[in-house]
Structure 1
Amino acid sequence: MQEIDPVLIRVSLEDRVRYLKDFIGFNRRDVEIIKQVAPVVSEIINDTVERLYANLFEFDITKKIFMERNDGFDGEIPERLEDLKLDSPQLIYRKVFMRTWCRRVLTADYSSGKVWTYMDKVGIMHTGAKAFKHRAHVSPLHVPYRDCALTLGWVQNVLHTAILSVPEDQLSMQNKITAVTAFNKVLWIQNDLFARHYIPNE
C-alpha cells in the first residue's frame, strides 16, 4: 500500500502526476498505443476542432466566453454576441491553440515531466491566472470548470468514435480497446490538472 501525502500532491505537480498515473494505471503500453494510433487520429484534428467550436456556439454561456478579449489577441471583437461567427478573427486565433493541444496529446513524450507541466499550465490559464511566461502581459482567460470538463468529455467521445471506426485491417479490436483506454487515462489526468486549480484544497 502506497502512502500518499495529501498536502504534497496538492503542492507538488511531480508528486501529483505520479499519484494520478499510478492510480489510473497509465503505463508504457498506453504510451506505445498512443504513438501507434497517432498518425490515424491526427488526420481528424482540424475537423474535430471545427466541430468543437461549432458545438460551443450552440449554447449562449459557452459562446459568450469568446466575447472577452484574451490570450494575446489584439484584433477586432464584435460588440454583439449574434455578430460573433465561427470564422471571426478571435475564433480563428483560439482554434490554433486547441489544435496545438490536440497534437501535443498525440505526440507528447509522456516520460518527460514537461508534458504534464504543459497540461497543468493549460489548466491554470483557464482560471484567469497567468500560466505561460510569453502570455504574462495579455488579458486573462476565465472559463468555468464545468465547461472545461464538458469540453474534455466531448473530445473524448470524438476520439473514441474515431479509433473504433478504424478498419480492423489497420488496427485490431484489441488495439482499439487499448487505445481508447489509453486516451481515456490521458484526458482524465488533464481533467484533474484543470480541477486542481478550480477546487480549493484539492
Structure 2
Amino acid sequence: MSEHIDKKLLDEDLVYRFEYMSKFLNFTENDIAALNAFAKIIQSVIPSAVEGIYQKLLDIDVTKQYFLKQNYGFEGIMTTEAAQVTVKSEQMTFRINSMRKYLLRVLRQRIWNDAFLNFLSNVGKMHTNMAGASSINVDYVHINALFGHLEHILIDVVLSSDELDGETKKATILALNKLFWIQNDFFTMHYIIASKSGN
C-alpha cells in the first residue's frame, strides 16, 4: 500500500515538509553529525570562499544589480555606482558576513528543531518579495546557480582534505548534497507561494 502524504500539510506545515524531504532523501542524524564534523575543517576556508563567491556575483551585471539596493539591516554607507562596488564596499562586507554566519550555522547545527527550520525557511523567504521590508527579491535562477557553485566549493574542500578518510569524505559529500536540496526546497517553496499570490 502506498504511503499517504497530505498535500495540504506539505504546502503549509514546515515541519511536515521537512520530515517528508528528510525521509525521501534519507537525511538522518548521521548526516547532521557529518556536517558538524566538516564545520571544523571548513571553518578557516569560509571567509575567503565566501568573498570569492561574492566577487563572482559582482563580476556579472545581472547579479551585481542586487547589491546596489539597500539591504534590510544594513546601516552603513551605500555605494550606488555599479563601477565603484567591490567586495570591500560596506554593503558587500555586510552581505559577506551574513553568508559566513549562515554557513557556519547550518554546518554546526546539532538539532534541526522548529526554530532552525524556521531559520532555513526565512532565508528562502527573504530572497522573494514575501518578507516585507526584509525582502531582497532575487530571481530564482541566480539562487540556483549560487547554490550549485557553493556546493562545488565545499565538495572540493572535502575531496582535497587530508584530515578525512575515504568513507568520511563520501558521508560528508552526501550530507552536503542533502543539505543543499533541503535548503533549496525551502527557497522554491516561497518562490511558488509568491508566484501563486501574483507577486
Measured on the aligned residues, the alpha-carbon RMSD in Å equals 1.5
Partner SS state of residue 190, structure 1: helix
Identity %: 30
Pair 1:172-2:165 in alignment: yes
Aligned partner of 2:143: which letter?
Answer: C
Aligned partner of 2:47: which letter?
Answer: N
Contact 1:69 1:139 in 2 (8 A): no
Partner Cα distance (1:140, 1:12) in 2: 22
The equivalent position to 2:186 in structure 1, one of 168, 182, 193, is 193
Partner Cα distance (1:153, 1:23) in 2: 21
**Deviation, structure 1 residue 75:** 2.6
Aligned partner of 2:166: which letter?
Answer: M
Aligned length: 193
TM-score (norm 2): 0.91
**Deviation, structure 1 residue 139:** 5.5
2:39 matched residue in structure 1 = 38
Give the helix-richer structure, 1 or 2: 2
Contact 2:124 2:187 in 1 (8 A): yes
Partner Cα distance (2:126, 2:184) in 1: 14
Which stretch shifts more, 73-82 or 143-152?
73-82
1:127 matched residue in structure 2 = 128
Partner Cα distance (1:156, 1:35) in 2: 16
Task: Name the CA shift for 1:139/1:113 in 2 (closer, same or farther; >3 Å).
Answer: closer
1:146 matched residue in structure 2 = 141
1:71 matched residue in structure 2 = 72
Aligned partner of 2:158: which letter?
Answer: I
Contact 1:37 1:179 in 2 (8 A): yes
Contact 1:38 1:107 in 2 (8 A): yes
Contact 1:42 1:106 in 2 (8 A): no
TM-score (norm 1): 0.90
Task: Name the CA shift for 1:10/1:44 in 2 (closer, same or farther; >3 Å).
Answer: same
Q: State how 1:20-35 maps to structure 2 within 5 Å.
A: 20-35=21-36
2:110 matched residue in structure 1 = 109
Q: Which runs of 5+ in 1 are unaligned?
A: 131-135
**Deviation, structure 1 residue 85:** 1.5
2:51 matched residue in structure 1 = 50
Q: Which runs of 5+ in 2 are unaligned?
A: none
